[in-house]
């Protein structure tokens, strides 16, 4: 309304304008709610330890005292074989002692006497010894001496011809080649020629090697060694399975060499 002087006067019917809470009031409310929250946490937040519930009706294994007889029931031979712990152990393995009661003899012993037919024992034997004579036997305590004659092998002083001898595993295979070994003209005794040969399954000589001297001091003839090497390469043996190694030993007969120049005159 307007007054006479022109000023505005508030009407009685107009409502006042509502205003919100100030910031200080909101902060106070938040602090109060937080304090109440913390108080509730401290009051109801302390937890007591949970007591474990006792366990009941649990299976337990206990070794009973004096349970040996029950444990023997696990033996599969308890009723099949006799044992001291079996149902008849005392009867089978522990027999009762046997007591023999000897009667008391009151009568004196009566010895058996000889009858009339057997009164003269040994008479027949003595009569047999008197009517039979036995040949006396003399023991030769020291037998007579027996003379022996030494056996002296009679071998020729010099060989009559050259020979070949097979040695080693090759000796089991027969030599099919007939070798005619000549005599060697030399003025001294020469050592035998030793040839090591390797023979195949067909009996042919695959390899022939002249073995060195064994250090006996005997002389060697090169011509004789080469001749032995040639004869060994041409040798032929009986067939067999596999390779065979052995030695051919040539024992040469030595003859005196012929004189090429006549002796000088006087």
SS3 content of the chain, % helix, strand, coil (to 5): 20, 15, 65
Percentage of the chain lying above the pLDDT 90 cut = 5
Q: Which range among 124-138, 155-169, 222-236 has the greatest average pLDDT?
A: 222-236
Q: Of 199, 141, 139, whose CA–CA distance to 166 is shortest?
A: 199
Q: Of 161, 170, 163, whose CA–CA distance to 203 is shortest?
A: 170
Q: 185: part of which helix (H) or strand (E)?
A: strand 184-185
pLDDT of residue 5: 45
Q: 197: part of which helix (H) or strand (E)?
A: strand 193-199
Q: 123: part of which helix (H) or strand (E)?
A: helix 123-131
Quick one: pLDDT band at residue 121, thresholds 50, 70, 90?
Answer: confident
Quick one: pLDDT band at residue 220, thresholds 50, 70, 90?
Answer: confident
Top pLDDT among 266 and 209 is at 209
Window from 109-123, 178-192, 209-223, 228-242 with minimum mean pLDDT = 109-123
For all residues of the chain together, what is the average pLDDT? 76
Cα gap 35→31, rounded to integer Å: 6
Instruction: Determine the average pLDDT of the residues in 174-190.
Output: 82
pLDDT of residue 95: 73
- Do residues 253 and 160 make contact, with C-beta atoms less than 8 angstroms apart? yes
pLDDT of residue 6: 47
Window from 66-75, 110-119, 153-162, 187-196 with minimum mean pLDDT = 153-162
Top pLDDT among 250 and 57 is at 250
Top pLDDT among 243 and 221 is at 243
pLDDT of residue 159: 64
Q: How distant is the alpha carbon of residue 30 from its chain centre?
A: 95
pLDDT in tens, 2-26: 444 445 445 545 555 556 788 888 8
pLDDT in tens, 133-178: 776 766 666 777 777 777 666 555 556 788 888 888 888 888 888 8
Cα gap 220→213, rounded to integer Å: 8
Quick one: pLDDT band at residue 114, thresholds 50, 70, 90?
Answer: low
Cα gap 203→176, rounded to integer Å: 9
Torsion angle of alpha carbons 68, 69, 72, 77, nearest 10°? 150
pLDDT of residue 212: 83
Q: 197 - beta bridge partners? A: 208, 246
Cα gap 195→246, rounded to integer Å: 9
Window from 32-41, 130-139, 188-197 with minimum mean pLDDT = 130-139
Phi-psi region of 31 (alpha: psi -120 to 50; beta: other; left: phi over 0): alpha
Cα gap 81→75, rounded to integer Å: 10
Cα gap 266→249, rounded to integer Å: 47
Quick one: pLDDT band at residue 256, thresholds 50, 70, 90?
Answer: confident
């Amino acid at each position: 309304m307007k007054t006479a002087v022109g000023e505005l006067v508030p009407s009685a019917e107009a409502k006042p304008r509502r205003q919100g809470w100030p910031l200080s009031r909101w902060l106070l409310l938040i602090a109060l709610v937080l304090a109440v929250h913390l108080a509730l946490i401290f009051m109801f937040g302390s937890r007591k330890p949970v007591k474990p519930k006792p366990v009941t009706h649990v299976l337990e294994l206990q070794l009973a005292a004096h349970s040996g007889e029950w444990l023997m029931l696990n033996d599969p031979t308890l009723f099949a074989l006799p044992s001291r712990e079996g149902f008849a152990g005392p009867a089978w393995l522990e027999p009762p002692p046997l007591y023999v009661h000897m009667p008391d003899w009151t009568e004196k012993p009566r010895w058996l006497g000889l009858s009339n037919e057997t009164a003269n024992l040994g008479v027949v034997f003595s009569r047999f010894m008197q009517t039979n004579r036995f040949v006396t036997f003399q023991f030769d305590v020291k037998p007579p001496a027996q003379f022996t004659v030494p056996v002296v092998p009679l071998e020729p002083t010099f060989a009559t011809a050259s020979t070949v001898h097979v040695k080693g595993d090759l000796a089991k295979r027969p030599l099919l080649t007939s070798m005619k070994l000549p005599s060697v003209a030399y003025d001294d005794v020469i050592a035998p020629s030793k040839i090591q040969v390797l023979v195949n399954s067909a009996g042919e000589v695959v390899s022939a090697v002249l073995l060195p001297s064994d250090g006996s001091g005997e002389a060697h003839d090169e011509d004789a060694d080469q001749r032995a090497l040639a004869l060994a390469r041409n040798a032929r043996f009986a067939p067999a399975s596999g390779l065979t190694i052995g030695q051919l030993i040539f024992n040469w007969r030595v003859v005196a060499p012929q004189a090429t120049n006549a002796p000088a005159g006087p």
